[in-house]
Structure 1
Amino acid sequence: MLGTSLLGRLRRRDPGDVILRRAARLTLVASVVFFGCRYGAGNSTLATYGLFGTIAAGSFAKLPGPAPQRARILVLSLPVVWALIAVGSFLAWSTWAAAGGMLVVGFVVAFAGVGNPRLVGLASAFQLFYILASFPPYQPGTLPARLGGVTLAVVLLAAAEVVLWPDPVPVSYRQRLAAAADGLAAFLDDTAATVTDPHTAGADRDTRRARAYDAMAAIELGRTPATWAPTAAGAQDRALRICAAALREALVEADRLAADAPPEPIPDLAAARLLRSCAETTRVAGRSLSPGAPAVTLADLDVAVARAEAAYPVGTGSVRDAPDVQRLCRDATALALADQVRVFAVGCRVAAGARLDDPHASSGLFEYARHSPWTLYWWQFRSHLAPRSAHLHSSLRLAVALAIARVAAGVLHLNHGFWVLLATLTVLRTSAADTRTELRPAVLGTIIGAVVSGGVMLVVDEPVVYAVVLPITLLLALGVGRLLGPVWQQALFTVLLTVVFAQLGPEGWRLAEARLVDVLLGTVIGVLAGVAMWPRGAGHDLRHNAARYLAVNADAVDQTVQAVLGASPPPDAALDRVRRRMVLVDASYWQYHSERHDPRRRQVNWGAVLSAGHHVLPGAQSLLRRNPPGCLAGWPEAAALLADSAGRLRSAYDTLADEVAHGRTAGPAPVSMTCVDQLDRIRPLLRGADLQSVRHLVEVDRWLAALADSLTHIQRPTADESAGRRREP
């Protein structure tokens, strides 16, 4: 009964047996490598590095994608692994030299993740390779054996990833993006029917709307594991981020169109035809993200936009009769939506590796794709070299903690000082609260494991016994322990280390004692580092970065309005500041989601707050493409209207930034005024105005109304946001 209950518990925690299959692969590879090197070749160094190479690359590395992709990443990482082992081996002659190397390696390896999320998954493994090599004995002559053991382990592990019980192919971010595009396309088709004839619109419009928003939520970076998120500095990941932003903007515009549908049927509405073309382009563009799919073309969308603009106020004439303000606002919204769909389609072409030859890209939105990868990486690193970068804080905290642990292990002449750093790496988290949470299972599990293994070693001193039970302990430590919880995982890992080193040296039961002392020392260092260095984690940085982000967004809105009024030059510098601040606030937001939070404390609804800011950049870029600077110069009535709207909006952003900076739940924003409500105030002024100027006024005012509307959606945080549930990295 007990065995059946345990098996059922494991099955519930491991649907599809993914973790157990992975543990079985690691067990097989580690056993083959260790037994072949230790007993076949008779080389303890080869065996040690082969076994720990398998554990580091297979258990500590978190790699994304299908099995062939993970195998390729493992093999391509070998030069870096060789370099780290070589540096560690040559610095092992001195405690201080090894600690200095640990400080540099720890920081560089951790901070490199800002340029490529795949390096985040490899960071712990890379650090372990240096840590293992940086401890005595100082034997540079054993470097070939060390490199040979690790190489054998990584190559066999890469092969096993592909041929031995491969994991199910995960849903990639591109697939999520394609699903979001399909959801938006279905909603656009339904919105087109609603705009054309509200009485015959599909009854399932609300269902399609809900599905579109659910699919859009799945592409939020805060809901995506770090190793899967498109946060790399390269052109394709940048394009995927732009695609996600364009889809969100298009959905908001479509929702606004559906809500403002005309009360009576309009059988031949250009906006409806444009929406159908947008739906088809969105659907095809999303599918083009799949490998081997043809690239999306924009000819049909361009024709639909041209027809919609032909039915829209353009030219050099003037408005003679009372303008149809509702029609003006509706058509402006449809054209703004089409612009976002075009951005999404061009972004899909860039993400698919197509050549950037589209004239639309020359506006600057995709200009980065013309730069070299090294330039793009430098831009990303530079953005994070800031005092409020959560990633910079985490990298410095980890590097300092590991360096202190290396000094302590060397000064105290610990025979297995490697375990001190391993314990520090295990318990240290991005906040003091999370570090304290990891402390209890680490200590309790180590005590249990040390007592069990010490007792066994008192009565069993035959290495052959430990050789026989090694595969069993590997499977338990790497698979079952992970499923049973942190305490069991730490206890079984302690037993595993005891079984391994019992075959490498004659230390006996004192090996368990050394393991306990080393882990206690490492956890103390980890806790002290977590308390002393940025103990509040990403929460404090997120508040500061979000407040600054909202402030620069307010500046960008104000300067964009001043530019179209001809009162200031184009807001390129302001929009660039928004981009840089967006990098920091998104990184802080993702790290915040990986931390635990007290559910009893009132939390800011970060998703809504950041969404309100994220609407500014793509909206401003779209607005300026259709409404160049100075397009409303010389119309004082329009200037007064827009200045008043922009001033109220800036005040709302500043108020929200002040509340966020103090960690309070945002209060109700000023009630937004729709585009129609805004223009109704100056309807008499539109009669006799230049048609082109009316079009520009409608589009700028519609944009400001949409931003104000996004502020009204900031309410109490959702249950998931308040609980701050920890997400699997």
Structure 2
Amino acid sequence: MRGTSLLGALRTRDPGYVVLRRATRLTLVASVVFYACRYGAGSPMLATYGLFGTIAAGSFAQLPGPAPQRARILVTSLPVVWALIAAGSLLAWSTWAAAGGMLVIGFVVAFAGVGNPRLVGWASAFQLFYILASFPPYQPGTLPQRLGGVTFAIVLLAAAEVFLWPDPVPVSYRQRLAEAADGVGAFLDAAADALTDPHAGPGGRDARRQRAYDVVAALDLGRNPPAWAPTAAGVQDRALRICAAALREVLAEADRLAADAPPEPIPDLAAAGLLRSGAGTTRAAGRSLSPGAPPVDLDDLDVAIGRAEAPYAVGGGAPDVPRLCRDATALALADQVRVFAVGARVATGSTPDGADDPSGLFEFARHSPWTLYWWQFRAHLAPRSAHLHSSLRLAVALAVARVAAGVLQLTHGFWVLLATLTVLRTSAADTRTALRPALLGTIAGAAVSGPVMLVVGEPVVYAVVLPVTLILAFGVGRLLGPVWQQALFTVLLTVVFAQLGPEGWRLAEVRLVDVLLGAVVGVLAGVAMWPRGAGHDLRRNAARLLASSGDAVERTVQAVLGGDDRPDRAIDQVRRRMVLVDSSYCQFHSERHDPRRQQVSWDVVLSAGHRVVPGVESLLRRNPPGCLAGWPAAAALLRDTAGHLHSAYDDLADEVAHGRTAAPLPVPGDCVDELNRVRPLLGAADPASVRHLVEVDRWLAGLADTLARIRPHDDRDVGRGGQE
């Protein structure tokens, strides 16, 4: 019964035995490497670099993708590993030279993650390779042994990744996106049925609506493992993030249309035709994300959009304002479906032309990966960049730790830098969280291993128990928690170095002193240097995005009312700020967040920019600048609405940036509300002008709805709202 209970607890803590599978694989590789190098080749140098190469690449590096992809990353990274070890070995002659190298390499390796946050875990392993080689003894003649040990370890680990119990492949973001597309497509069909036959199966519509919201919620970056979330600066990851934002807007517009169902069936309603065409295109775009699937065809959707837009060129007849209102919403929905479909094409390797991307939302797909990464780096080479701050913080902390270890002539000084790496995080809150388990675990591990080494002096005993300590440190310790993991890792290091040197029981004392010193350096750096992490940077960039979005919206309304300028410059500014917000959120996604702060649905904030950019282009295409000039009553209504909306954007930007209470947001209305607003203006107005008025007014109402979804929740809503 105890065994059954233990297995049950193990399954709960480690679904699929992923952690134990990795720990067993790492234990086998590390044991083979260490035994072959230490006792087979008789070389402590080979054994040291072989074992730590295995631990750095197998435990500290959190590599993305399935097993074959991780194996390729390991093998192709070998030249970088060789360069770091060579640099550390050649700079080990002087404490100050090694510390200067640590400052440069620490910054470059950490800042390189700005282009792909999923490689931050591998960056920690890169740091370790330089750290290990940069400590005395200064023996450049042993460089071949050092490189040989690391190479042997990484190649063997890469082979083990593929052939020894490979990890089960989790659900990828593309698969989640395809599932969300299928769920949203089903709800679009249900919404179309609601328009043409309002009394047909409301229960089925509710079930499809709930499923659509559930599968779209699964697209939030915070609900996906960092190694699989599309957070890189490359074309495919950017396109996937735009696809997710577009699906959220499609779902919101479909929900609005379903709520605006007419009291009697309207079989030939253009909105229903757009919904059904959008449903088919959405499903096809989702399926196209699967490997080997054909690209999505936009012809049917374009035909449906053209059919719905045709009445703009035709005058005559009294306007059916409720129907126009639904058509405007359906056209906004179809525009977002088109963005999703083009994004799916880009994510699968296509380059959009001007006809596919008139808004320029996918302009990045026309540039090389190196150009995109350079833009990303350049955007963050700024004094207030969170990426720049965290890279400088880590580099300075590691350099200071290297100086302290060298000046104090610590025997195993690299443990000081290892502790600094373990404790230091991108925010002071994360650093405090990591400090306690690091100290308690090290004290507990030293308290156990010290007396053991005092009693047991035979190296053969430690050679026998090495595999046991490996599986405990990287398997059991990880499942039990950070304190256990740190304690068992301390015991592991004691067992290893008992076979490499004659330190004896004092090794545990040395380990404890080194960790304490490294922790002090890490905490001081975390508290003294930009302690707020990416959250502050994200809030500032999001506030600027909201402010520029409000300006673009008001300029767009001025254009349709006959203003002199198009809102092109304002839209370009929204695009630039979208890039910064997007990048800030990718780093924020990896941090721990204070639950006491107001919560913000950051994925919806990103959607706000994605809604404004293509929305303005589509609106001006169907409602050209000056289309409502000469209608003073409509101008007054729209200017008033746009002004209030601009103020709401500014107020919400201030609230997001500083946590202040903003003025009440505009309340999103349904089609009946919009009808009541414009009805007094109709009179003998031209039908085409009425359609322009309805669409512009409905677009503003949709933006108000987006703002309502961004609004931070109070503490009572934490856990039910968005993520901070």
For this structure pair, what is the TM-score category when the shorter chain's length is used for normalisation?
over 0.9
2:713 corresponds to: 716
How far 1:495 sits from its partner (Å)? Answer: 0.8
1:453 corresponds to: 449
Taking a change above 3 Å as real, the CA distance of residues 105 and 487 of structure 1, as seen in their structure-2 partners, is same
1:195 corresponds to: 195
2:418 corresponds to: 422
1:616 corresponds to: 612
Taking a change above 3 Å as real, the CA distance of residues 363 and 5 of structure 1, as seen in their structure-2 partners, is closer
Q: Which residue type is aligned with residue 303 of structure 2?
A: V
How far 1:339 sits from its partner (Å)? Answer: 1.5
- Structure 2 CA distance, aligned partners of 1:281 and 1:351? 16
Question: Any conservation in 2 of the 1:195–1:272 contact (CA below 8 Å)?
Answer: yes
- Structure 2 CA distance, aligned partners of 1:166 and 1:725? 34
How far 1:337 sits from its partner (Å)? Answer: 1.1
Question: Aligned runs of 1:559-598 on 2, under 5 Å?
Answer: 559-592=555-588, 594-598=590-594
Query: Does 1:378 find its partner at 2:342?
Result: no
Q: Which residue type is aligned with residue 485 of structure 1?
A: G
Q: Which residue type is aligned with residue 490 of structure 1?
A: Q
156-165 vs 115-124, greater mean Cα deviation: 115-124
Query: Does 1:552 find its partner at 2:548?
Result: yes
- Structure 2 CA distance, aligned partners of 1:89 and 1:196? 75
2:313 corresponds to: 315
Could you tell me the TM-score, scaled by structure 2's length? 0.94
- Structure 1 CA distance, aligned partners of 2:474 and 2:28? 12
- Structure 1 CA distance, aligned partners of 2:8 and 2:317? 77
How far 1:356 sits from its partner (Å)? Answer: 3.4
Query: Does 1:519 find its partner at 2:526?
Result: no
- Structure 2 CA distance, aligned partners of 1:199 and 1:352? 40
Determine helix, strand or coil for the equivalent of 2:289.
Answer: coil
- Structure 2 CA distance, aligned partners of 1:95 and 1:724? 51
Q: Which residue type is aligned with residue 581 of structure 1?
A: R
1:62 corresponds to: 62
Q: Which residue type is aligned with residue 716 of structure 1?
A: H
- Structure 2 CA distance, aligned partners of 1:610 and 1:673? 22
Q: Which residue type is aligned with residue 183 of structure 2?
A: G
Query: Does 1:395 find its partner at 2:391?
Result: yes
Q: Which residue type is aligned with residue 170 of structure 2?
A: P
1:334 corresponds to: 330
How far 1:605 sits from its partner (Å)? Answer: 5.8
- Structure 2 CA distance, aligned partners of 1:539 and 1:241? 20
1:99 corresponds to: 99
Write the deviation string for residues 633-662 of structure 1: whole angstroms up to 9, x where unpaired. 454443332211110101111222222333
Gaps of 5+ in 2: none
The alignment-based identity, stated in percent, is: 80
Write the deviation string for residues 637-689 of structure 1: whole angstroms up to 9, x where unpaired. 43332211110101111222222333246564233455654454444644554
1:20 corresponds to: 20
499-508 vs 359-368, greater mean Cα deviation: 359-368
Gaps of 5+ in 1: none
1:217 corresponds to: 217
Taking a change above 3 Å as real, the CA distance of residues 462 and 64 of structure 1, as seen in their structure-2 partners, is same
2:494 corresponds to: 498
Question: Any conservation in 1 of the 2:85–2:130 contact (CA below 8 Å)?
Answer: yes
Q: Which residue type is aligned with residue 185 of structure 1?
A: G
Question: Any conservation in 1 of the 2:221–2:589 contact (CA below 8 Å)?
Answer: no
2:524 corresponds to: 528
Taking a change above 3 Å as real, the CA distance of residues 65 and 363 of structure 1, as seen in their structure-2 partners, is same
1:39 corresponds to: 39
1:284 corresponds to: 284
Determine helix, strand or coil for the equivalent of 1:232.
Answer: coil
Q: Which residue type is aligned with residue 65 of structure 1?
A: G
Question: Any conservation in 1 of the 2:81–2:129 contact (CA below 8 Å)?
Answer: yes
531-540 vs 45-54, greater mean Cα deviation: 531-540
Write the deviation string for residues 230-281 of structure 1: whole angstroms up to 9, x where unpaired. 2222221221122112111111111111111111111222221221111111
- Structure 2 CA distance, aligned partners of 1:588 and 1:367? 20
How far 1:347 sits from its partner (Å)? Answer: 1.2
Taking a change above 3 Å as real, the CA distance of residues 28 and 496 of structure 1, as seen in their structure-2 partners, is same
Write the deviation string for residues 528-564 of structure 1: whole angstroms up to 9, x where unpaired. 1111112233333333233222212211212222333
Q: Which residue type is aligned with residue 302 of structure 2?
A: D
Question: Any conservation in 2 of the 1:120–1:227 contact (CA below 8 Å)?
Answer: no
Taking a change above 3 Å as real, the CA distance of residues 376 and 725 of structure 1, as seen in their structure-2 partners, is closer
- Structure 1 CA distance, aligned partners of 2:609 and 2:267? 37
- Structure 2 CA distance, aligned partners of 1:725 and 1:546? 15
Question: Any conservation in 2 of the 1:114–1:231 contact (CA below 8 Å)?
Answer: no
- Structure 1 CA distance, aligned partners of 2:468 and 2:345? 50
- Structure 1 CA distance, aligned partners of 2:214 and 2:359? 31
- Structure 2 CA distance, aligned partners of 1:540 and 1:368? 27
RMSD of aligned residue pairs (Cα, Å): 2.5
- Structure 1 CA distance, aligned partners of 2:205 and 2:258? 9
Question: Any conservation in 1 of the 2:118–2:231 contact (CA below 8 Å)?
Answer: no
How far 1:573 sits from its partner (Å)? Answer: 2.8
- Structure 2 CA distance, aligned partners of 1:271 and 1:354? 30
Question: Any conservation in 2 of the 1:198–1:265 contact (CA below 8 Å)?
Answer: yes
- Structure 2 CA distance, aligned partners of 1:420 and 1:385? 29
Question: Any conservation in 2 of the 1:315–1:691 contact (CA below 8 Å)?
Answer: no
Write the deviation string for residues 113-154 of structure 1: whole angstroms up to 9, x where unpaired. 221233223111111111111112222222222222111111
Q: Which residue type is aligned with residue 313 of structure 2?
A: G
- Structure 2 CA distance, aligned partners of 1:195 and 1:258? 7
- Structure 2 CA distance, aligned partners of 1:275 and 1:461? 77
67-76 vs 471-480, greater mean Cα deviation: 67-76
How far 1:419 sits from its partner (Å)? Answer: 0.4
Q: Which residue type is aligned with residue 697 of structure 1?
A: L
Query: Does 1:128 find its partner at 2:128?
Result: yes
- Structure 1 CA distance, aligned partners of 2:267 and 2:720? 49
Question: Any conservation in 2 of the 1:565–1:631 contact (CA below 8 Å)?
Answer: yes
Question: Any conservation in 2 of the 1:222–1:590 contact (CA below 8 Å)?
Answer: no
401-410 vs 101-110, greater mean Cα deviation: 101-110
Determine helix, strand or coil for the equivalent of 1:671.
Answer: coil
1:359 to 346, 355, 362: 355
Taking a change above 3 Å as real, the CA distance of residues 101 and 2 of structure 1, as seen in their structure-2 partners, is farther
355-364 vs 138-147, greater mean Cα deviation: 355-364
- Structure 1 CA distance, aligned partners of 2:386 and 2:258? 40
- Structure 1 CA distance, aligned partners of 2:437 and 2:717? 25
- Structure 1 CA distance, aligned partners of 2:431 and 2:652? 31
- Structure 2 CA distance, aligned partners of 1:225 and 1:573? 37
Taking a change above 3 Å as real, the CA distance of residues 274 and 601 of structure 1, as seen in their structure-2 partners, is closer
Determine helix, strand or coil for the equivalent of 1:548.
Answer: helix
How far 1:67 sits from its partner (Å)? Answer: 1.1
Taking a change above 3 Å as real, the CA distance of residues 360 and 460 of structure 1, as seen in their structure-2 partners, is same
- Structure 2 CA distance, aligned partners of 1:364 and 1:623? 15
How many residues get paired?
A: 723
Taking a change above 3 Å as real, the CA distance of residues 358 and 433 of structure 1, as seen in their structure-2 partners, is closer
371-380 vs 637-646, greater mean Cα deviation: 637-646
- Structure 1 CA distance, aligned partners of 2:582 and 2:342? 23
Taking a change above 3 Å as real, the CA distance of residues 300 and 604 of structure 1, as seen in their structure-2 partners, is closer
Q: Which residue type is aligned with residue 16 of structure 1?
A: G
- Structure 2 CA distance, aligned partners of 1:100 and 1:278? 58
1:249 corresponds to: 249
Question: Any conservation in 2 of the 1:198–1:264 contact (CA below 8 Å)?
Answer: yes
- Structure 2 CA distance, aligned partners of 1:625 and 1:131? 58
Could you tell me the TM-score, scaled by structure 1's length? 0.93
